């Protein structure tokens, strides 16, 4: 194994990008590590720099000398090679002490099923080939970590890659060697195995300089119809592969493709270079497809003409014109060694006449009497028919769609049945315009809205050029469906449409007309270009957007938000029509109100979101911005609608599950929120983050055990965020275990300046514990920093209202009354502004209870309950409602809410995945 020669002189080409599970970046260093993660990891580190000497001391203390290195009991001696998939070590076999080559999967690829499957197949294929000139496999197994490995004969003399130059002086030796190689390849063909990547680096030389064909990594067994090798990654090595292999993995290859590669190796052994060379892979492939291979003697005059003929025969562009088997090639090479006439020369005449016929078809037709022509024309017709079939197949392949399960937004489940009926409906729609291919994936397949990876995988597995998926939900008794067509290779969205009213029997009605022209398009770059946000096409705007987005993503302080806002404004000055910049500006402005309740920013957020939607009504970013505005305005139902639209227009994107979960949680539907949290997508994208939300849901559902589990996970996965610990503290608090709550609270790392969740929970513990003096101090400090508090409050306890209750209790009536007046004014305004916000109604009810207005308070409590308030446990403990406690309705509310919660909890438990 070796690194392939650079297909591109600047970068390695990842035919099949592996998206990083942590950051979704696709750039990888040659060692396979994600570049983005490598950089990000060194960011914001508080630690002191680690010096060289200290590190060397640590190393010296580790009892892991290179001499004690073992993999599966083999002593590792040296690294021989490292490639895209595996690493090969020189190793010593246990007991026997024999030196072997041990190949294993690179650790960082060990989690890729695709790589593991390919590796195992390679080992299996190689292991069942038993030939003196195919590298023998000694052992196939798994390492202690469960990674596959195999050992094979160690090639002491390296490969033809190193030997090719010395061999130039000894053509006879080269030919003897190639006879053995060709016979080995013939044997593999007889076993039904095509090598598909023969090149000098794959012809190893043992200690006696006997050749050993190796690396069946790309080999395909003709008996199995595995798609594993269809990716571009298994393309072969430019310069050595047959031109038909360049047609892609779908090309039907025969033994003659390997013959071509053998010819290319022979050519190099005779002339010192492969037949085609160029700047990059494409140039090489293009030449080999368009031009005949140069004649050997034009590069090396001393080479015998017969060898030139043999080489040329292998390198014919038409597979039918080459040697038809490796055995014939071996035979001809042997003929040359034995000074016997070679077969290739006789066949050369035949090939030449066919060539002539192809280039002079009209003239040839006039010479119909000639026998040779009769044969040639029959052959031509056969060829032509084959060509027609190929053309038809390639048209079908280009107009191919695979339909993935749609996402049922109501149940948050994949709707496979819809995908099936969509397939037949779409097929008949498209048939009206021309040939096309519509498929669905197997019932086990992953839904396409999950991730880019799923889309690409579906494309690979079905060999389809495009992927169609979407969402379905019920709106006012009608089925509303969104359809998204994507490029299967890149995941780029090519077409999105919403149908407000799906016809049951014909779900793809009218779709064929829109999709057919897109499917027929050979090159989608103009479609994609038109879809690119203008802000990304302008250098100044793009830079500002990128920088702003980076800030936004970690946005934790008001100054972060302000800086991001400034950057997006810069972008908009450069490109006022950028939907992206408007959307992001809106998101930053809205996000800022989380930290500081300055409503002017909410207004800015709203204006910008509206502007973005006006510019691009189908932009998921614009609707995401609008959803955020609605959320901060307490209009949770509207926020929910906008969030569902972001999924309809753009599929599931980062954090959308979290947003939906939070919104449903606020709407008093924690059991529905859990559905969104449970999407496997969330876990992969935002590990830890979704867990505190899960905790919040379970706490509302009264399942403290599950809540604790989730918060613990959040604390573990996001040690940088206090939310997990704050949640754990809250669980204790709601159980009335104040000491437990305080205990957890004390362990929370105080590493945030502007965020006050930790202080807030500490204050609430003392308040609910009726430790009013302590609570006064804590709430006093919070109110001093930000009287209104920007974010959310657990149990909807605002600082002012808590302080009012405390002052009341401590006998400072005047101060209490002043605070209550402010609170009443604020909360009344909030309820007027946000009539459907359950929390606003509840907050007003609390102030009214403080003022002794029990009737009004119960009225607003009922309002809160109607719009979704379910947190009866904090209601029960909250000192602000003390004046209502004697009232029979107080208990009624608790009873009703607890029954509602129990019911939701039951439903949530039933939805839990069965273990």
Partner 1 sequence: MRADCAVESRSALTHFVTTRWSLIRNRNIARSRSSEDTGLGKLCEIYWRPIFTFIYRRGYSAPDAQDLTQDFFLMVLEGNLLQSADPKRGRFRSLLLTSVKNFLIDAAAKRNRHKRGGGVQFVSWEKWMSDAPAQLSLPMAAMESAPPEALFDAGWAAAIAEEALRRLRMECESKGRRRVYEVLQSHLTLERSDICYEGLSRALGVPEPSVKSLLHHFRKRYRSLLREEIAKTVENEANVDDEIRYLCATLSATLN
Site for partner 1 in 460-519 (CB under 8 A): 489-490
Q: Is 162 left (phi over 0), alpha (psi -120 to 50) or beta?
A: alpha
Judge whether 646 and 627 are in contact, CB under 8 Å.
Answer: yes
Integer-rounded Cα radius of gyration of the chain: 35
Residue 412 interacts with partner 1 (CB under 8 A): yes or no: no
Residue 398 interacts with partner 1 (CB under 8 A): yes or no: no
Give the residue from 257, 153, 160 showing the smallest Cα distance to 201: 160
Which of 16/786 has CB closer to partner 1? Answer: 16
d(CA 636, CA 632): 9
Shortest spacing between CB 878 and partner 1, in angstroms: 22
Give the residue from 638, 527, 532 showing the smallest Cα distance to 580: 532
Give the residue, chosen from 156, 232, 363, 829, that forms a contact with partner 1 under the rule CB under 8 A: 232
Residue 248 interacts with partner 1 (CB under 8 A): yes or no: no
Shortest spacing between CB 547 and partner 1, in angstroms: 6
- Length of the chain (residues): 915
Residue 18's alpha-carbon distances to 82, 108, 247, in angstroms, are 18, 11, 23
Using CB under 8 A as the binding rule, the residues of this chain from 655 to 684 that contact partner 1 are: 659, 662
Residue 68 interacts with partner 1 (CB under 8 A): yes or no: yes
Which of 53/339 has CB closer to partner 1? Answer: 53
Which of 163/850 has CB closer to partner 1? Answer: 163
- Residue 60 Cα to chain centre, angstroms: 40
Residue 12 interacts with partner 1 (CB under 8 A): yes or no: yes
Using CB under 8 A as the binding rule, the residues of this chain from 751 to 790 that contact partner 1 are: 751-752, 755
d(CA 699, CA 694): 9
d(CA 59, CA 878): 57
Q: HEC states along 324-350?
A: CCHHHHHHHHHHHHCCCCCHHHHHHHH
Which of 471/593 has CB closer to partner 1? Answer: 593
Give the residue from 902, 729, 879 showing the smallest Cα distance to 809: 879
Shortest spacing between CB 503 and partner 1, in angstroms: 36
Give the residue, chosen from 250, 391, 540, 550, that forms a contact with partner 1 under the rule CB under 8 A: 550
Residue 26 interacts with partner 1 (CB under 8 A): yes or no: yes
Contact segment (CB under 8 A) with partner 1 among 119-127, 216-224, 254-262, 713-721 equals 713-721
Residue 30 interacts with partner 1 (CB under 8 A): yes or no: yes
**Angle at the Cα of 189 (from 188 to 192), degrees rounded to 5?**
95
Give the residue, chosen from 354, 416, 473, 723, that forms a contact with partner 1 under the rule CB under 8 A: 723
Give the residue, chosen from 27, 493, 596, 817, that forms a contact with partner 1 under the rule CB under 8 A: 27
Give the residue, chosen from 722, 727, 795, 879, that forms a contact with partner 1 under the rule CB under 8 A: 722
Using CB under 8 A as the binding rule, the residues of this chain from 128 to 167 that contact partner 1 are: 144-145
Give the residue, chosen from 221, 410, 518, 542, that forms a contact with partner 1 under the rule CB under 8 A: 542
Using CB under 8 A as the binding rule, the residues of this chain from 567 to 586 that contact partner 1 are: none
Give the residue, chosen from 1, 38, 461, 880, that forms a contact with partner 1 under the rule CB under 8 A: 38
Query: What angle do helix axes 305-314 and 343-359 make, rounded to 10 degrees?
Result: 50
Give the residue, chosen from 34, 134, 565, 664, that forms a contact with partner 1 under the rule CB under 8 A: 34
Q: DSSP readout, 526-558? A: HHHHHHS-HHHHSHHHHHHHHHHHHHHHH--SH
Residue 606 interacts with partner 1 (CB under 8 A): yes or no: no
Residue 277 interacts with partner 1 (CB under 8 A): yes or no: no
Which of 144/369 has CB closer to partner 1? Answer: 144
Residue 818's alpha-carbon distances to 321, 684, 774, 828, in angstroms, are 99, 50, 21, 16
Residue 628 interacts with partner 1 (CB under 8 A): yes or no: yes
Contact segment (CB under 8 A) with partner 1 among 65-73, 189-197, 303-311, 899-907 equals 65-73
Give the residue, chosen from 214, 309, 632, 798, that forms a contact with partner 1 under the rule CB under 8 A: 632
Q: Is 149 helix (H, G, I), strand (E, B) or coil?
A: strand
Shortest spacing between CB 292 and partner 1, in angstroms: 24
Residue 223 interacts with partner 1 (CB under 8 A): yes or no: no
Which of 443/553 has CB closer to partner 1? Answer: 553
- Residue 877 Cα to chain centre, angstroms: 46
Give the residue, chosen from 119, 406, 631, 842, that forms a contact with partner 1 under the rule CB under 8 A: 631
Shortest spacing between CB 49 and partner 1, in angstroms: 4
Residue 8 interacts with partner 1 (CB under 8 A): yes or no: yes
Residue 699: how many other CB atoms lie within 10 Å: 25
Shortest spacing between CB 879 and partner 1, in angstroms: 26
Residue 822 interacts with partner 1 (CB under 8 A): yes or no: no
Residue 271's alpha-carbon distances to 299, 330, 796, in angstroms, are 6, 20, 82
Give the residue, chosen from 462, 578, 721, 867, that forms a contact with partner 1 under the rule CB under 8 A: 721
Q: Is 100 helix (H, G, I), strand (E, B) or coil?
A: strand
Contact segment (CB under 8 A) with partner 1 among 95-103, 589-597, 768-776, 823-831 equals 589-597
Give the residue, chosen from 357, 430, 508, 717, that forms a contact with partner 1 under the rule CB under 8 A: 717
Residue 451 interacts with partner 1 (CB under 8 A): yes or no: no
Shortest spacing between CB 214 and partner 1, in angstroms: 21
Contact segment (CB under 8 A) with partner 1 among 13-21, 241-249, 642-650, 861-869 equals 13-21
d(CA 265, CA 200): 6
Q: Is the dihedral of CA 43, 47, 49, 54 positive or negative?
A: negative
Half-sphere exposure of 825 (CA within 13 A, CB side): 8
- Residue 704 Cα to chain centre, angstroms: 34
Which of 69/370 has CB closer to partner 1? Answer: 69
Give the residue, chosen from 216, 406, 584, 595, that forms a contact with partner 1 under the rule CB under 8 A: 595
Using CB under 8 A as the binding rule, the residues of this chain from 306 to 335 that contact partner 1 are: none
Give the residue from 235, 194, 198 showing the smallest Cα distance to 215: 198
- Residue 287 Cα to chain centre, angstroms: 35
Give the residue, chosen from 248, 294, 576, 687, that forms a contact with partner 1 under the rule CB under 8 A: 687
User: How many residues at the interface with partner 1, by CB under 8 A?
Assistant: 110
Q: Exposed, middle or buried by CB within 10 Å (0-12, 13-18, 19+), for 768?
A: buried
Residue 526 interacts with partner 1 (CB under 8 A): yes or no: no
- Residue 575 Cα to chain centre, angstroms: 30
Shortest spacing between CB 868 and partner 1, in angstroms: 17
Which of 29/367 has CB closer to partner 1? Answer: 29
Structure tokens at 336: 């040359």
Shortest spacing between CB 489 and partner 1, in angstroms: 7
DSSP-derived secondary structure letter, 853: -
Give the residue, chosen from 560, 608, 642, 834, that forms a contact with partner 1 under the rule CB under 8 A: 560
Give the residue, chosen from 58, 277, 396, 899, that forms a contact with partner 1 under the rule CB under 8 A: 58
d(CA 564, CA 570): 10
Structure tokens at 220: 């395909």
d(CA 138, CA 120): 14
Contact segment (CB under 8 A) with partner 1 among 52-60, 496-504, 672-680, 843-851 equals 52-60
Shortest spacing between CB 780 and partner 1, in angstroms: 24
The values of phi and psi at residue 508, to 5°, are -105, 20
Residue 654 interacts with partner 1 (CB under 8 A): yes or no: no
d(CA 608, CA 605): 5
d(CA 590, CA 639): 13
Q: Give the bridge partners for 486, in sequence order.
A: 467, 493
Residue 86 interacts with partner 1 (CB under 8 A): yes or no: no
Structure tokens at 172: 């006879």
Which of 146/166 has CB closer to partner 1? Answer: 146
Judge whether 151 and 102 are in contact, CB under 8 Å.
Answer: yes
């Amino acid at each position: 194994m070796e690194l392939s020669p650079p297909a591109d002189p600047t970068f390695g080409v990842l035919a099949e990008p592996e998206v990083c599970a942590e950051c979704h970046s696709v750039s990888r260093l040659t060692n396979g590590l994600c570049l983005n993660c490598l950089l990000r990891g060194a960011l914001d580190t508080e630690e002191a720099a680690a010096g060289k000497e200290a590190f060397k001391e640590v190393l010296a203390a580790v009892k892991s000398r290179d001499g004690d290195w073992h993999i599966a009991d083999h002593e590792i001696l040296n690294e021989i090679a490292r490639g895209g998939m595996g690493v090969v070590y020189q190793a010593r076999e246990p007991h026997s002490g024999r030196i072997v080559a041990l190949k294993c999967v690179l650790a960082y690829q060990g989690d890729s099923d695709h790589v593991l499957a390919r590796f195992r197949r390679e080992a299996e294929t190689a292991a069942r080939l038993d030939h003196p000139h195919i590298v023998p496999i000694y052992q196939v197994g798994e390492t202690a970590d469960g990674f596959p490995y195999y050992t094979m004969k160690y090639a002491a003399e390296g490969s033809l890659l190193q030997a090719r130059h010395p061999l130039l002086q000894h053509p006879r030796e080269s030919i003897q060697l190639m006879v053995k190689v060709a016979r080995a390849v013939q044997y593999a063909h007889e076993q039904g195995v095509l090598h598909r990547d023969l090149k000098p680096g794959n012809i190893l030389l043992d200690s006696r300089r006997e050749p050993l064909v190796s690396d069946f990594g790309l080999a395909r067994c003709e008996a199995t119809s595995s798609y594993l090798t269809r990716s571009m990654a298994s393309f072969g090595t430019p310069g050595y592969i047959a031109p038909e292999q360049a047609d892609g993995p779908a090309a039907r290859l025969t033994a003659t493709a390997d013959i071509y590669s053998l010819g290319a190796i022979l050519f190099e052994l005779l002339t010192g270079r492969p037949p085609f060379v160029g700047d990059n892979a494409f140039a090489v492939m293009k030449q080999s497809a368009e031009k005949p291979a140069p004649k050997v003697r034009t590069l090396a005059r001393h080479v015998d003409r017969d060898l030139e003929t043999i080489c040329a025969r292998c390198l014919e562009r038409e597979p039918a014109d080459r040697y038809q088997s490796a055995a014939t090639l071996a035979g001809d090479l042997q003929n040359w060694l034995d000074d016997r006439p070679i077969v290739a020369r006789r066949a050369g005449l035949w090939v030449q006449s066919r060539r002539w016929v192809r280039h002079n078809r009209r003239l040839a037709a006039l010479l119909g009497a000639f026998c040779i022509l009769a044969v040639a024309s029959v052959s031509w017709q056969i060829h032509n028919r084959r060509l027609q079939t190929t053309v038809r197949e390639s048209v079908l392949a280009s107009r191919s769609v695979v339909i993935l399960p749609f996402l049922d937004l109501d149940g948050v489940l994949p709707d496979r049945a819809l995908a099936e009926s969509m397939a037949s409906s779409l097929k008949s729609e498209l048939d009206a315009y021309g040939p096309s291919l519509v498929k669905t994936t197997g019932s086990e397949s992953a839904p396409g809205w999950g991730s880019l990876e799923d889309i690409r995988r579906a494309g690979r597995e079905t060999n389809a050029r495009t992927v169609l998926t979407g969402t379905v939900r019920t709106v006012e008794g009608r089925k509303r469906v969104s359809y998204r067509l994507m490029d299967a290779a890149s995941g780029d969205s090519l077409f999105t449409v919403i149908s407000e009213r799906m016809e049951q029997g014909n779900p793809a009605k009218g779709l064929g007309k829109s999709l057919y022209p897109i499917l027929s398009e050979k090159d989608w770059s103009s479609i994609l270009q038109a879809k690119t946000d203008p802000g990304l096409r302008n250098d100044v705007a793009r830079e500002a957007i990128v920088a702003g987005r980076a800030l936004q993503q970690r946005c934790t302080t008001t100054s972060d938000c302000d800086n991001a806002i400034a950057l997006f404004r810069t972008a908009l000055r450069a490109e006022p029509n950028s939907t992206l910049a408007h959307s992001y500006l809106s998101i930053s402005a809205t996000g800022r109100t989380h930290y500081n309740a300055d409503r002017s920013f909410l207004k800015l957020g709203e204006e910008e979101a509206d502007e973005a939607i006006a510019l691009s009504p189908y932009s998921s970013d614009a609707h995401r911005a609008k959803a955020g505005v609605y959320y901060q305005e307490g209009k949770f139902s509207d926020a929910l609608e906008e969030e569902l639209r972001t999924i309809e227009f753009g599929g599931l994107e980062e954090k959308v599950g979290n947003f939906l979960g939070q919104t449903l949680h606020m709407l008093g539907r924690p059991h529905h929120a859990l559905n969104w949290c449970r999407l496997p997508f969330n876990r992969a994208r935002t590990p830890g983050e979704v867990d505190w939300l899960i905790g919040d849901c379970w706490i509302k559902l009264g399942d403290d055990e599950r809540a604790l589990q989730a918060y613990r996970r959040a604390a573990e996965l996001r040690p940088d965020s206090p939310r997990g610990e704050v949640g754990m503290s809250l669980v204790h608090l709601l159980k009335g275990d104040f000491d437990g709550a305080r205990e957890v609270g004390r362990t929370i790392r105080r590493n945030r300046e502007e965020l006050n969740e930790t202080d807030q929970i500490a204050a609430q513990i003392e308040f609910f514990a009726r430790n009013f003096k302590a609570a006064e101090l804590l709430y006093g400090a919070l109110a001093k920093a930000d009287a209104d508090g920007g974010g959310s409050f657990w149990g909807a306890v605002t600082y002012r209202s808590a302080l009012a209750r405390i002052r009341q209790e401590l006998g400072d009536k005047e101060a209490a009354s002043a605070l209550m007046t402010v609170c009443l004014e604020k909360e009344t305004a909030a309820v007027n502004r946000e009539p459907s916000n359950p929390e606003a109604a509840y907050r007003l009810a609390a102030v009214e209870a403080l003022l002794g207005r029990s009737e009004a308070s119960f009225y607003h409590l009922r309002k809160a309950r109607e719009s979704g308030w379910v947190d009866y446990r904090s209601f029960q403990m909250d000192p602000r409602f003390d004046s209502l406690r004697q009232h029979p309705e107080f208990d009624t509310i608790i009873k009703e809410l607890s029954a509602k919660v129990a019911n939701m909890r039951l439903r949530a438990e039933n939805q839990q995945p069965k273990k």
